[in-house]
């Protein structure tokens, strides 16, 4: 009985890991151009937003 429960828990954890990996892959695909592999508009927007947050945190300017 315990073995069955542990097996089921392990299967659920493995499935959750697979789903997380799939979600990460889909997110990466949504941010990159399929042909070139470069960031598309959504990817650049996300990078700019992250950099803006970093600039605000450290008091840096985004200009020279």
Does residue 19 sit within a domain? yes
Does residue 31 sit within a domain? yes
Name the domain count of the chain: 1
Partners of 32 in the beta sheet? 39
Give counts: helices (H), strands (E), the chain: 2, 0
Reported as type and span, the H/E element at residue 60 is none
Say yes or no to pLDDT of 38 above 90: yes
Mind listing the pLDDT tens digit for each residue in 5-27? 999 999 999 999 999 999 999 98
Does residue 64 sit within a domain? no
Q: What percent of the chain is modeled with pLDDT above 90? A: 80
Does residue 6 sit within a domain? yes
Does residue 18 sit within a domain? yes
Instruction: Yes or no: say if 31 and 20 are a contact pair by the CB < 8 Å rule.
Output: no
Partners of 39 in the beta sheet? 32
Does residue 36 sit within a domain? yes
Domain around 43? 2-58
Does residue 63 sit within a domain? no
When pLDDT is averaged across residues 29-54 and rounded to a whole number, the result is 93
When pLDDT is averaged across residues 36-47 and rounded to a whole number, the result is 94
How far apart CA 26 and CA 5 sit, in angstroms, is 31
């Amino acid at each position: 009985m315990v073995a069955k429960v542990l097996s089921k828990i392990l299967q659920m954890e493995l499935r959750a890991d697979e789903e997380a990996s799939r979600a990460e892959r889909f997110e990466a695909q949504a941010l990159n151009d399929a042909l070139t592999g470069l960031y598309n508009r959504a990817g650049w927007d996300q990078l700019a937003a992250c950099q803006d947050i970093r600039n605000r945190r450290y008091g840096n300017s985004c200009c020279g």
